[in-house]
Each structure stands twice: as C-alpha cells, then as structure tokens.
A and B are shown apart, each in its own frame.
Chain A
C-alpha cells in the first residue's frame, strides 16, 4: 500500500523508473497495440482458408486459370434491395469454378449447378446464415446477435419459394408442402397472407355439418372424433385427442343441431336381392376408384384421393342417405366434386348394396351412447366453438372464427429467442416448425392444435413451405418475383354450364385455367375433335389409353343433354388460331397417305408410342390412333404435329420440328385411319 506522503510523481517513478525507461515502455506498448489490427487481419479465418485454397489449386492441371480467377481479400456480394450482404465467397473461393467437381472438402467445393447466378442473388437468400460475417462460427451457427443459422440442405427449396409464388417443376418438395398446407386445412385456422395481397386458400372444403344427422349416426361421429384415422387411414381430418365425455357432448350437439334436407334420403327400392358381383363391376365401370380409395386385403390403399376413402363406408352412411346421395349427390351438397351419375334405380340399389357391405364389424362395437341431455348439448356447442370446428366445417348457428390461430405469414423469420423448445431439441427455427407439426400438443398444456399423421417427408415439405413465408418473401422487389397465375373462376354459361356443374366436369378436366388435372384440358376441345365422335364419346366413353387406371365414367346422359353439351363445346371451345377447314377430313391423295405412312413407321417411328395397326403396333404411351381420323380434326392434327406443346403445355410428345410438307403427309395418313374403314376391312 502507498504511504500517505507519496506524491504522484514519486508513484510514477516507483512504477516506471527513470523517464527514459518510461518512454521505452510506452513506445513498446504502442507498437504492440498498433500491431493488433494487422495481426488480427493476418491470422483471420478467411485468410487461412484463402491460403488453403491456393495450396489446393497449386498442384492442379488448371492451376493458372484458377489462380487468375482468384481474388485475395474479403469478397462481398451486395444487393440492398434483397437484404443481401454476403461475404461467404471470401472463404468459399471455388464456388464458381466449374473444374473443381472432384473437390469434396469445404469450403472449396464448387457450387452445384442451379438456375441462378450466385452474383445476382448471393448466398443467404437460399441458405440463411449471417452473410456479413467473416468467421465460420458467426456465419453458420446461431449466435446471440443473429437468429438465423444455416438451414439444413433438406429445406433448401424454401429459398425458391420466396420469389416463386407458383409451383416450379424442379421444386417438388416446396410444391408438396404448399399443397399440404392447403389440403390439410392448415390455412383454415392459420392465415397465410401472400405478398401480392391475397391469402393462401384451402383446396379441400371439409363437409358441412349442418345436416349431418341425415347422413350418419351419432355413434359414428363419436368413433370418428375419437380417432379419424381408425375409420380411414387416409382421412384428412387430424386427431383432436378429445376426452370421451367431450366427444359424447360434441356428437350430441352436432346431431341435435342438424336440420334435415328434404329429399336427401330415399326409401328402399323394391329391388331383388343385391348381387355383389354386379356391385363390384358397377363400381369398376363407373371409375369410382379414380377419386375414392379402398384398402385392399394387403392393407394398401387403391384409388384416388379426391373423394373420401370408402373402406368402411358401410359403418358411416345411413342406407336411406347413401341411396339418395348415389342417385344425386347435389341434393345434399350443391358444391360437391362428385358427379351426378344419372344411375337407374336398379344401379342405385346395386351400388348401395355394394357400398354398405364395406363395413368393419369392430368399428362401432364399443360405442354405446345414452340419449343426450340438454347440458351435454350446450357443453358440446361450447367445445365446438372452443376447438374452432367452424374454421373448416360449416355448422349452422356458429360463425367461422377469424384469426383463430396465429398467423403464419412471416413464420419463416420468427426469432428463435421467442420460441420455446422441447428438451433435447436443436434450437433452430426449422427444427421448431417440424417439431410443432410432429407433436403440437407436447409444447405446452392446453394447446388446441390437433395431431396429424404426417410422414417425415411430408413434415419436411411443410417445414420447407413455411420457411418460405418470411420477411424477405414479403419485401422482395416485385420485378424479381414470379407471381402465381391468378385463380380462375371460369364458369361455362347457360344450360350446358348447368349440365357441366351437375356432372362435375371440373373435378377432372380443366377449362380456361379452372379445374383438375386428372383428365385432358378441354379449353380447345371444339377445335380438336369431330362432333360425331364427341357425341358418341359422351354417350359411351371408350378409352383411348388402355394402360390408364383413371378413365371417364359413363353418365347415362340423355340425347338432349348430349346435344346441348356438344353444341356448346363445338361452338365455344374453339382455338381462334385453328381454322377447322384448313385441313379436310378426307379426300387425301394416295401418294400423300403413303408418304405419311413412310414417315410414321420409318423416319419418325411413331409406332414406338402409338398404335395404328393393332396387329403390328404395340406402343401405348400415347393414345391409340386406330380410328383417329374419325376422332380428331385434320387442322388439329396438323397443328399438333407442328408443335404439341403449343396446344397442350407440358405434353410428353416431343416436338419433331416437322416441315409443312411432312406435317401435311402425316396428317393425311392419320386422317385416313377411320372407324368405318376398319369395320369394313374386318368384314372382308
């Protein structure tokens, strides 16, 4: 300790000695201080990696080229309008070197080929991470200062989704995720606003429950609510993990709240006993399996997913309701995607018997419900409101709730510090989102989000789609975004329009941008086909592609309906660029036809995919062309041959770049393949 009579000068002297010595110490100190910055620079990580890169390329054959491309110092890609300040290329030096394909050590690997230039978009757009950082730890890992660490490679397509609002052929995972968000009702509770001002719309409307007592029993409702997947493994509805008493009360409320619809039930017909073989063949002929799946003996689902699974439909549907539904589903649900088949009474009875036999005797065996009390019904109603059932289902007397669940518009930028993680869970946003989807109720007690049965692949896809909903997606300059095509609300007019909605044509066919993709687009069908063929096809749809499982069903249309539809299609669905009279339906010269035959079989080998002569041709990728001259118009065939993708974008048939003469000769050959000619030939 210093004594009280010490002066500051003597203290200085005691510490540093003579002034000259003090000067020396201070100078040395100053030098050291001055050296810190250059030393830090010299020993920096990025310089270490750049030196490593130079050592790596030194021994390579193309060393001189690589050395010429190499630029020392910190590199930066800066795009303020995208929020990109990326210095990643300071260490990832070889990203753009095409010749480094054999290098597998990081950070020197060549970037895989992608459609964008790294200079134009930078790195963090797709990979996340802290672009401005110049150390490995700060750039890649989550630190207190930066919330978004590098995202795992399996979510990489989320980067695409920030600018590409519509699906891309090369982003199957993102497309799947977005489709799942829309199909599984996620967007019914969580609103997702799109940067162009719209919201993400649900693609699957859950059925209205306002008249449910006409359709099914309270016991079925109980069993379904307890575990929807026990009724149908492919059920869209998630499991709300409700207590038995709560399910009892909800089912009581739904049945009590249900009002009957006149004529949505029918008394039994006076028909002879049901014939199971006839049922199975009617189910097959009507191509029910195009939309509905049934579990086969091996436990595999066979059929489409447009309509509900029918494995245990006999446990669910009341016979009187099913009868009326099969006869005309539009009585019960005007907006259903199911066509009105116009079955005869006999067919309705056969189908009813076939479907009602699809039961599982164990399914409702343990459900015994006492008559509902008024208290139970009131409690059921409050539960229905509490769990937001009306977010998906229409229920008479209860309004759809707005903002029922947190909005997910910017979930992909959610700050990790605001999240609560489960024990043992990696503290990253993608892990949090995936965890929430996998086991939503584990995160806290009293949460209402239901349990889904998604596979790991589906959860990854959903997480990818949600990560794309971030701040940057909202702020990307419009000039850089690829907007989704506007949703089409096209409706055909008049009587034909009524028939088309009655037959639910749009469930499978698209016209003017609206409709399904199961069957061909009909936008220019009037230019494509001959009227006689169209009428015959509507009366009795044959198949053009024997290998296809999903086909056009027969609707028992009246002659009047067929005429109305044919008139409309032939008049309205005409491509203004195709002149039907430019190529005649017959009257081609024998030489032309023969030249076309040569082109078909020898030069272009069309028989690899198409069948013209059933005896010799075997290809069945494309439609059968045995009577194409009675089906299509010459003008359409000609235009198709010249450029198939121009008429139907995405069609598989390659464009052969035919010249006019060849296209005309092939058209002549194909137009000679007439239905009648074949029949006469067979007689001889």
Chain B
C-alpha cells in the first residue's frame, strides 16, 4: 500500500510535464496553421478546391479539401477559425484550424467505409459569433463502382469527359455529336439500366443514337458493364434515384 502511494507521489508532479511533452509531439505533427486561436473573423466561407471528388470508401481522397474565408469585401481573411464536420466515419486531418496567409485552410479527408455521397460541412465564426457554413459533397465508391471508375478511365472518359489532362487530351471537341459527360444527370437519369446496358453493349445505334459511340459488348464482360452503370449512377448530378417497386392493380 505504502509502496503504491509512494509511486503516486512520485508520478503526480511529473504528470503535467508528461502531458506537455505529449501535446508537444501532437502539435509538431499537425500543420502550423492548427496552432493558436482565431485572430480574425470573416463573413463568408467558400470552396477553393477539393469538392466533388471521387474516392474509394474508407480511403483518403486524392486531393485535400481547401476552403477560403472571406470578409465583406470578398478579401481573403488570415487567421480565421475553420472546422470541418462530416457524417459518422469521416475523418479530417486536421479537423479544425485557422486560415493561412492566403486565407485558406486545408484538410485531408478520409471518407467512411460505406459507398455513397458524403456531405461535409465547413464552418467559420463571424465577428458576431455566428457560424457560417459551406456544404461540400464527396463521393465514396465500393468495389463494383470503383471497377466502373477504372473502366471509365480506360475506355470512356477520353470522349465523355471534356476536360483534358497533361497525360490525356480529351477527344470530346473532335466529335461531331457530343457525348454526355457521366455527371449529366438530367439526361442520363432518364435512361433505364436496360437502356444503358444496350447502348454500352451495342453502341449508339442500339438506341437510335450516333454510331460514334462504339459497342463494348464484345470487349467488356457483363460484370464490367454492370460496374460501369453503377458508377455512372453514383456520379450523376443531380443524384440518380433507382425506381422503386411498382404497385399496380391487377
């Protein structure tokens, strides 16, 4: 008994020092902006980059989310507090901090383990202590949809994605009949799964559309085409809602 008390007596004064060392280690790993309280206030928070990303469920998104805090004159505010919140399972590194010299704050986001759309909320506090929020949407893919994404990247995006990258120049502008980007929900959501399967398998003419869209039914397997459709449904904007059960009077 006495031995244990002796141990406590010895440890107690050391505890604060130990905690200080631990917090020091913690701070050193975080970005510099995370340190210190807010020294300025903005009136608006806007997205700089990192929204509408597509990543694997449970994994870190390829790019960090970057938000910017602005004042009434739309000038960037340095030193404003920003915090990120998301649904259960979403992890931010770091979850909160203050904006840097260009008024920006960024965090690496790891989405939850379930596939779907994740709404992330970035919040800053105004001078009047009122929260101002910004909603950012990110998409997590499961195995099947990720396969779809890989196939899209290999076969489809060269024509269906109008954006060019240094590695891959888009063929979109060279086509007389423009393909629909997969995010174009207004058009694609009206096509049933059977229609999409037909157009991917047999090409544009299957739905009386342009032959510029070639058939992939002899190149891709049924599973791969299902994966592609599942992926297209997931990234469409506005979101796609599967038709429910049909109840009809006999």
Instruction: Say yes or no: is B58 at the interface (Cβ < 8 Å to chain A).
Output: yes
Residues from chain A with Cβ under 8 Å of B32 in the complex = none
Closest to B116 in A: A104
Instruction: Say yes or no: is B46 at the interface (Cβ < 8 Å to chain A).
Output: no
Please classify how large the interface on chain A is, using the bins under 10, 10 to 19, 20 to 34, 35 or more. Answer: 35 or more
A549/B150 in contact, CB under 8 A: no
A604/B211 in contact, CB under 8 A: yes
Residues from chain A with Cβ under 8 Å of B72 in the complex = none
A618/B174 in contact, CB under 8 A: yes
Closest to B245 in A: A61
A113/B142 in contact, CB under 8 A: yes
A619/B215 in contact, CB under 8 A: no
- Chain A, residues 56-94, CB within 8 Å of chain B (1/0): the string is 000001100000000000000000000000000000000
Rounded to whole Å, the gap between the CB of B152 and the closest CB of chain A is: 12
Instruction: Say yes or no: is A156 at the interface (Cβ < 8 Å to chain B).
Output: yes
Q: Of residues 138 to 172 in B, which have CB atoms within 8 Å of A's CB atoms?
A: 142-144, 146-147, 150, 154-155, 158-159, 166-169, 171
Closest to B173 in A: A618
- Chain A, residues 111-124, CB within 8 Å of chain B (1/0): the string is 01111000000000
A608/B175 in contact, CB under 8 A: yes
- Chain B, residues 73-84, CB within 8 Å of chain A (1/0): the string is 000000000000
Rounded to whole Å, the gap between the CB of B21 and the closest CB of chain A is: 9
A657/B218 in contact, CB under 8 A: yes
Instruction: Say yes or no: is A539 at the interface (Cβ < 8 Å to chain B).
Output: no
Query: Given the known A-B contacts A62-B245, A423-B22, are A153 and B113 also in contact in the complex, defined by CB atoms under 8 Å?
Result: yes
Give the CA-CA distance A657 to B223 in the complex, in Å.
Answer: 19
Rounded to whole Å, the gap between the CB of B135 and the closest CB of chain A is: 20
Residues from chain B with Cβ under 8 Å of A602 in the complex = 211
Query: Given the known A-B contacts A608-B171, A620-B171, are A154 and B218 also in contact in the complex, defined by CB atoms under 8 Å?
Result: no
Interface hit among A23-31, A44-52, A648-656 = A648-656
Q: Of residues 146 to 171 in A, which have CB atoms within 8 Å of B's CB atoms?
A: 152-154, 156, 169-170
B212/A608 in contact, CB under 8 A: yes
Give the CA-CA distance A152 to B110 in the complex, in Å.
Answer: 11
Give the CA-CA distance A13 to B55 in the complex, in Å.
Answer: 75
B57/A153 in contact, CB under 8 A: yes
Please report the total number of B residues contacting A with Cβ < 8 Å.
52
Closest to A61 in B: B245
Rounded to whole Å, the gap between the CB of A174 and the closest CB of chain B is: 11
Residues from chain A with Cβ under 8 Å of B108 in the complex = 456
Give the CA-CA distance A620 to B211 in the complex, in Å.
Answer: 17
Give the CA-CA distance A114 to B46 in the complex, in Å.
Answer: 38
Instruction: Say yes or no: is A101 at the interface (Cβ < 8 Å to chain B).
Output: yes
Query: Given the known A-B contacts A156-B58, A605-B212, A621-B171, are A109 and B218 also in contact in the complex, defined by CB atoms under 8 Å?
Result: no
Give the CA-CA distance A514 to B93 in the complex, in Å.
Answer: 42
Instruction: Say yes or no: is B62 at the interface (Cβ < 8 Å to chain A).
Output: yes
Instruction: Say yes or no: is B230 at the interface (Cβ < 8 Å to chain A).
Output: yes
Give the CA-CA distance A169 to B217 in the complex, in Å.
Answer: 19
Give the CA-CA distance A456 to B155 in the complex, in Å.
Answer: 28
B174/A620 in contact, CB under 8 A: yes
Closest to A155 in B: B58
Rounded to whole Å, the gap between the CB of B121 and the closest CB of chain A is: 19
Closest to A422 in B: B25
Instruction: Say yes or no: is A603 at the interface (Cβ < 8 Å to chain B).
Output: yes
Instruction: Say yes or no: is A173 at the interface (Cβ < 8 Å to chain B).
Output: yes
Residue of A109, A113, A114, A619 touching B174 (CB-CB under 8 A)? A619
Q: Of residues 158 to 198 in B, which have CB atoms within 8 Å of A's CB atoms?
A: 158-159, 166-169, 171, 173-175
Residues from chain B with Cβ under 8 Å of A608 in the complex = 159, 171, 174-175, 212, 214
Give the CA-CA distance A40 to B142 in the complex, in Å.
Answer: 37
A460/B60 in contact, CB under 8 A: yes
Instruction: Say yes or no: is B226 at the interface (Cβ < 8 Å to chain A).
Output: yes
Residues from chain B with Cβ under 8 Å of A489 in the complex = none
Instruction: Say yes or no: is B126 at the interface (Cβ < 8 Å to chain A).
Output: no
Give the CA-CA distance A598 to B49 in the complex, in Å.
Answer: 47
Residues from chain B with Cβ under 8 Å of A113 in the complex = 142-144, 226-227, 230
Instruction: Say yes or no: is A547 at the interface (Cβ < 8 Å to chain B).
Output: yes
Instruction: Say yes or no: is B119 at the interface (Cβ < 8 Å to chain A).
Output: no
Q: Of residues 40 to 58 in B, which have CB atoms within 8 Å of A's CB atoms?
A: 56-58
Instruction: Say yes or no: is B236 at the interface (Cβ < 8 Å to chain A).
Output: no
Rounded to whole Å, the gap between the CB of A251 and the closest CB of chain B is: 30
- Chain B, residues 106-137, CB within 8 Å of chain A (1/0): the string is 00101011111000000000000000000000
Give the CA-CA distance A460 to B169 in the complex, in Å.
Answer: 30
A605/B214 in contact, CB under 8 A: yes
Query: Given the known A-B contacts A113-B143, A423-B22, A603-B211, are A656 and B218 also in contact in the complex, defined by CB atoms under 8 Å?
Result: yes
Residue of B155, B167, B211, B218 touching A652 (CB-CB under 8 A)? B155
A152/B147 in contact, CB under 8 A: no
B219/A645 in contact, CB under 8 A: yes
Instruction: Say yes or no: is A457 at the interface (Cβ < 8 Å to chain B).
Output: yes
B62/A457 in contact, CB under 8 A: yes
Residues from chain B with Cβ under 8 Å of A605 in the complex = 210-212, 214
A655/B219 in contact, CB under 8 A: yes
Rounded to whole Å, the gap between the CB of A550 and the closest CB of chain B is: 9
A-B contacts, 27 of them at CB < 8 A, read A62-B245, A112-B115, A112-B142, A113-B142, A113-B227, A115-B143, A152-B113, A154-B59, A154-B113, A156-B58, A156-B143, A172-B146, A424-B22, A457-B59, A457-B62, A547-B168, A549-B166, A549-B167, A604-B211, A604-B214, A605-B210, A619-B171, A619-B175, A621-B159, A654-B155, A654-B215, A656-B218
Extra contacts, 17 of them, besides A113-B230, A460-B59, A608-B175 (Cβ < 8 A), are A112-B115, A113-B226, A114-B144, A115-B223, A154-B60, A170-B147, A424-B22, A457-B60, A620-B171, A620-B174, A621-B158, A621-B171, A645-B219, A652-B155, A654-B216, A656-B214, A657-B218
Residue ranges of A at the interface with B (Cβ–Cβ < 8 Å): 61-62, 101, 104, 109, 112-115, 152-154, 156, 169-170, 172-173, 423-424, 456-457, 460, 547, 549, 602-605, 608-609, 618-621, 645, 652, 654-657
Closest 9 pairs between A and B when the two form their complex, measured CB to CB: A153-B58, A153-B113, A618-B174, A112-B142, A113-B144, A655-B218, A154-B58, A605-B211, A608-B212
Residue ranges of B at the interface with A (Cβ–Cβ < 8 Å): 22, 25-26, 56-60, 62, 93, 108, 110, 112-116, 142-144, 146-147, 150, 154-155, 158-159, 166-169, 171, 173-175, 210-212, 214-219, 223, 226-227, 230, 242, 244-245, 247
